[in-house]
């Protein structure tokens, strides 16, 4: 027997090694109660050793008493702390962790099986959630388990299915007139917030995180912990952004640190207001994230160098940026009209 039992207070305890790490726990009788009987304690220890042997042989993973009580909510909290330690605690990442905790937090970690994860995915798909959105939640679930395994808290992690996101790239964007139409129907405290998104291509959470401490003269600095890619970036105030920031200064509240705020608080979720405004503006179904695509497309059309545009929007790879450089049907029609005009001009020139 690779372990030992010993008295501690009123009960017997046992000690054994698992993966080279010494583990100690109170011995239990067949009813799960602490025991003061030496023979019962030896049987308990032997059962632990047998379970370890089975695990090494490819059988069911050994589960310690502490691991058997661990909830997914606790795993989510540990993952959140890990993100904060690594400065990856962006608003968006924390939002996804919160969703994962809300959906799985009450489950015991050892009760999560591939079948239960698949059932969760099927429910989300039935609710018409996009694969990419579902993947964000399940990926964090997998990361939470992976962190627990690396730390020795759990023996293994369940298989978590990843849905294909092929063809997931949206083709939506908004022109300047459409954006202004939407803004006209938004609450006043969301209008500059929306304009800033259209001008810079920044994400909703990144804009919401901006405080007056991030304004450095004629430059706005986004801190790395609030950026999705974990990298800080700057945007100089020029043109429309200068006018926008002048309005924000006039609307500044001394009891709030945020540049964009709603009654002093950081801008949070506003799906209902957005859906209502887009419907009234005649572009129902448009997403706030479409402003990011629109900004990228607008910059390219203005002949801004792609490398410079990527610095502004925060895209790390050219391939991701190009996904947002959408060609609209109107662009195609304009190209055909230009081609036809060229042919007419060439024909007239030949006739002369």
Which of these, 212, 140, 147, 185, lies nearest to 281 by C-alpha position?
Answer: 185
Same domain, 40 and 103: no
Q: Is residue 180 domain-resident?
A: yes
Residue 161 within any structural domain of the chain: no
At 228, the pLDDT band (50, 70, 90 cuts) reads: confident
Residue 333: pLDDT over 60: no
Domain boundary at 23, 42, 62, which? 62
- As separate numbers, helices (DSSP H) first and strands (DSSP E) second, the chain gives 15, 8
Q: Quick count: other Cβ atoms within 10 Å of Cβ 279?
A: 14
- E strands in 81-205: none
Mean pLDDT throughout 48-56?
74
Q: What is the pLDDT of residue 182?
A: 95
With cut-offs at 50, 70 and 90, classify the pLDDT of residue 65.
low
- Do 136 and 184 share a structural domain? no
Give yes or no for residue 328 having a pLDDT over 60.
Answer: no
Q: State the CATH number of the domain containing residue 183.
A: 1.10.443.10
Does 187 map to a domain? yes
**188 and 299 housed in the same domain:** yes
The first and second tokens of residue 97, run together, are: 């962790």
Q: Is residue 298 part of a domain?
A: yes
pLDDT in tens, 244-301: 999 999 989 999 999 999 999 999 889 899 999 999 999 888 989 899 888 888 888 8
**How high is the pLDDT of residue 153?**
79
pLDDT single digits (tens) 153-198: 787 889 999 988 765 555 577 888 999 999 999 999 999 999 999 9
Residues 201 and 280 in one domain: yes
* Same domain, yes or no: 100 and 22: no
Note the pTM of the prediction, 2 decimals: 0.54
180 with 322, same domain: the answer is yes
Q: Does residue 100 or residue 173 have the better pLDDT? A: 100
Range of the domain at 292: 176-326
pLDDT surpassing 80 at residue 336: no
Residue 47 and residue 109 in one domain: no
**55 — pLDDT class (breaks 50, 70, 90):** low
Same domain (yes/no): 185, 321? yes
Quote the number of domains for the chain: 3
């Amino acid at each position: 027997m690779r372990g030992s039992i010993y008295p501690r207070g009123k009960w017997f305890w046992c000690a054994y090694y698992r993966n080279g790490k010494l583990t100690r726990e109170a011995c239990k009788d067949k009813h799960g109660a602490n025991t003061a009987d030496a023979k019962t304690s030896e049987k308990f220890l032997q059962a632990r050793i047998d379970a370890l042997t089975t695990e090494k042989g490819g059988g069911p993973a050994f589960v310690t008493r502490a691991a058997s009580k661990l909830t997914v909510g606790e795993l989510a909290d540990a993952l959140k702390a890990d993100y904060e330690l690594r400065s990856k605690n962006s608003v968006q990442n924390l939002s996804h962790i919160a969703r994962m905790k809300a959906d799985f937090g009450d489950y015991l970690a050892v009760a999560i099986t591939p079948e239960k994860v698949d059932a969760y995915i099927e429910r989300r798909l039935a609710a018409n959630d996009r694969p990419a959105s579902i993947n964000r939640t399940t990926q964090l679930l997998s990361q939470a388990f992976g962190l627990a395994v690396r730390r020795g808290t759990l023996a293994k992690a369940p298989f978590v299915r990843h849905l294909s996101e092929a063809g997931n790239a949206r083709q939506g964007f908004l022109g300047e007139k459409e954006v202004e139409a939407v803004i006209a129907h938004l609450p006043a405290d969301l209008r500059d917030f929306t304009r800033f998104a259209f001008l810079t291509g920044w994400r909703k959470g990144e804009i919401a995180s901006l405080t007056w401490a991030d304004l450095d003269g004629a430059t706005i600095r986004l801190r790395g912990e609030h950026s999705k890619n974990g990298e800080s970036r700057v945007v100089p105030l020029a043109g429309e952004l200068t006018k926008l920031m002048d309005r924000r200064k006039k609307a500044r509240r001394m009891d709030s640190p945020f540049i964009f705020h709603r009654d002093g608080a950081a801008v949070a979720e506003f799906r209902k207001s957005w859906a209502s405004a887009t419907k009234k503006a005649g572009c129902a179904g448009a997403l706030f994230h479409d402003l990011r695509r629109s900004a990228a497309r607008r910059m390219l059309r203005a002949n801004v160098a792609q490398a410079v545009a990527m610095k502004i929007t925060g895209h790390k790879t050219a391939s991701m940026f190009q996904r947002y450089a959408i060609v609209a049907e109107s662009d195609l029609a304009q190209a055909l009209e230009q081609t036809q005009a060229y042919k007419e001009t060439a024909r007239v020139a030949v006739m002369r």
